[in-house]
Structure 1
């Protein structure tokens, strides 16, 4: 089965190590987002007393789950994914960070299962909705798992990663823009083939409101790793380019395919593992909404 967790904008299944590699690069953003969510949930005393259960839906290897467990030390975090290997890795990751017992795992595959995961005071979901056919149904199911006063945080899209200058001295200038366009076209075609695919305007505050929630704010977090990059980031970019090449195939013209192959050459100084102009810049947008308490 394909895991819920996907990399930010490159469609297709990401093996656990690759998913964790990318999530590690984004760990600073996750910590900032968790602190922002603490503020949305109320005063320090209220958060400490009331936030006892958190769902990380589409958890992958559990990077966000562990960050949330640290940010909400009184809460139990349930990492939810459909991939058993990724959930196993989430358990190992939690144990390595002294969070055994506070981060647990649960398999779920279909949107209707999400409503049976609750109740929770906070639900985090990263890059899940777009990979399921009926995005509005996903949000309704997540909303049904919230306790009154609870918050759902939906991280969707933002800006795709940029990591190369416009002119890299290989092939034709503008390679990255063409790669992004090809990936977007492929994703649109694959999304149209999803079971129950429903076309909606991806206005997330509106979709959250249509799920019976009250939007409580949207924030975009910048992830900026300037050149020269460290080796972990370079390895991630090498993996990303390799997956792009495999996914796009004949969707790239010959010149661009040859250019990507040159970037993947681990022995060449012009390859992504060595070139001094490689950087990593992306942005993740998080939309939040609250389930209001009923009037008494």
Structure 2
């Protein structure tokens, strides 16, 4: 599960943004500035980020089980659906693929990603967890590389579709792979993570709000540069309805890791702050850049790895809808 793919503190997802060619959701080996990206080296960071967010993803998986099971909420149609096949589109290193396999023990899970090095990690993870017989991988780009995949009872895609220029078309492409009564779940949106108080005792108060603003500008530029980018209202339930799906449901899930943070979460935030400085440090004033330098310094008492007030609070939103029964 996933990809959001922003290497920025305003968005703390499993995968960072990936450059694209025509019709690609996150191909290959260069960043926005053309610099090479070694996904094999970056893979452990992406996997750690997804592991940190496991409580949130477990909540989402339990909700999907409810939507597809006999206790579906009022308004769902078609009753329970036996989930035999799941596609995790934009799977990254496969953390959520494995969570979905455990949540739906009768299902085969296909982890789909455009980066083979990350699929290597997904296969290794499935092997370690004793799930290798039920988790398979497919290297493909969204939406045009999905045709060989066939149908599925549940399709999950997290933070990948906003890297496709035509998001509406990408949703329709995924919906086309649903079996009758199947569920499409798109994880997009939510709330930018918070991890420090407004006044952290160094630099000018309100750093996180300024980082969020810079991240939004970065994201808008990224979207505008995508091939076939459409200037459409980002209404994910409407995209699902336009794809011919029914009974839309939306729910947000909270990740609440209070202070004092565990070391793995601290190091993850530290790495994201470092990448934020690289991506858009030139949009920040010198005082904020100096503050980020201190926050990412492992030896500075004010650094993120040593602060007693560091926390992680975020929310991810999941939009779902179902294919028509025959």
For the aligned pair, the TM-score class normalised by the smaller chain equals over 0.9
Equivalent in the alignment of 2:66 = 39
Q: Aligned partners of 2:247 and 2:201: how far apart in 1?
A: 46
> 2:69 and 2:294 mapped to 1: Cα distance?
51
Residue pairs, 1:270-289, within 5 angstroms: 270-289=302-321
Match of 2:3 in 1: 5
Contact 2:186–2:319, Cα closer than 8 Å, also in 1: yes
| Aligned pair partner of 2:106 in 52, 62, 74 | 74
1: CA distance between counterparts of 2:132 and 2:303? 40
Conserved 8 A contact 2:246-2:324:
yes
SS of match in other structure, 1:273: coil
Aligned to 1:87: 119
Q: Displacement, 1:115?
A: 4.4
> Is residue 115–residue 141 contact of structure 1 (8 Å, CA) maintained in 2?
no
Q: Which residue of 1 aligns with 2:27?
A: none
- Name structure 2 gaps, 5 residues minimum: 19-38, 72-78
Pair 1:195-2:231 in alignment: no
> In structure 2, what is the equivalent of residue 258 of structure 1?
290
| Distance of 1:157 and 1:128 partners within structure 2 | 11
Shift of 1:116: 3.8
After TM superposition, the structure 1 = structure 2 runs for residues 1-296 of structure 1, keeping only pairs within 5 Å, are: 5-7=3-5, 9=11, 12-13=17-18, 15-43=42-70, 50-294=82-326
The equivalent of 2:29 in structure 1 is none
**2:74 alignment partner in structure 1:** none
RMSD over aligned Cα, in angstroms? 1.6
Q: Secondary structure at 2:127's aligned position in 1?
A: helix
Distance between the aligned counterparts of 2:155 and 2:144, measured in 1? 15
SS at 1:112's partner residue?
coil
Distance 2:59 2:103 in 1: 10
CA displacement, residues 188-238 of structure 1 (integer Å, 9 cap, x when unaligned): 011101011011111111111011111431110000000000100001011
1:159 deviates by 0.5
Moved more, 10-19 or 140-149: 10-19
- Secondary structure of the residue aligned to 1:155 is strand
> Relative to structure 2, which stretch is displaced further, 66-75 or 113-122?
113-122
What secondary structure, in the 3-state scheme, does the structure 2 residue paired with 1:168 have? coil
Q: Give the match for residue 35 of structure 2.
A: none
- What SS is found at the alignment partner of 1:37? helix
Q: SS where residue 269 of structure 1 aligns?
A: coil
Gaps of 5+ in 1: none
Which one has the bigger helix percentage?
Answer: 1
Q: Deviations over 1:72-100 (max 9, x none)?
A: 00100000000000000000000110001
The CA distance in 1 between the partners of 2:17 and 2:84, in whole Å, is 34
TM-score, normalisation: structure 2? 0.85
- Contact 2:241 / 2:248 at 8 angstroms: preserved in 1? no
Identify the range of structure 1 (15-24 vs 64-73) with the bigger mean alpha-carbon deviation. 15-24
